Amino acid sequence: MSVQVTAIKIGVQDLNRSKRFYGQGLGCTIDQDHPGFVSFSLGDGSSSSLALHPWEAAAQDADVSPEGSGVSLSTSSSRPAKLWTR
């Protein structure tokens, strides 16, 4: 099975500052810009997008405490088969 990353979601403390960093600093093109959410195209050759959300909203979406400092990884599949087997 081939794995394809289509979206990267990051929870940030300061959405406006992070938007400037990825947009102006790294030159990523803004796809969507809403209060509380911004997404970027990662450029030619990439089918992935980068989405920034406020820290608390990202933690709530991942069903983890906003007090944490770790990483949450999730998967999405249109296929009902198991994604992980051990």
Task: State the pLDDT at residue 75.
Answer: 61
Task: State the pLDDT at residue 72.
Answer: 61
Decide: 10 and 39 in contact? Cβ < 8 Å.
Answer: no
Task: State the pLDDT at residue 86.
Answer: 44
Give the structural domain span for 22.
7-62
> pLDDT (tens digit, 9 = 90+) per residue, 2-36?
777 778 888 999 999 999 999 999 999 999 999 99
Asked, for residue 73, whether it belongs to a domain, the answer is no
Instruction: Answer yes or no: is pLDDT of 74 > 70.
Output: no
Asked, for residue 53, whether it belongs to a domain, the answer is yes
Asked, for residue 77, whether it belongs to a domain, the answer is no
Quote the CA–CA distance of 86 and 82 in Å, as a whole number.
11
Task: State the pLDDT at residue 9.
Answer: 87
Asked, for residue 49, whether it belongs to a domain, the answer is yes
Beta strand ranges found along 13-61 (DSSP E)? 29-34, 37-41, 49-54
Q: Looking at residue 20, which CATH number applies to its domain? A: 3.10.180.10
Asked, for residue 83, whether it belongs to a domain, the answer is no
Asked, for residue 34, whether it belongs to a domain, the answer is yes
Asked, for residue 39, whether it belongs to a domain, the answer is yes
- Our count of domains for the chain comes to 1
Residue with the larger pLDDT of the pair 78 and 44: 44
Task: State the pLDDT at residue 18.
Answer: 94
Asked, for residue 28, whether it belongs to a domain, the answer is yes
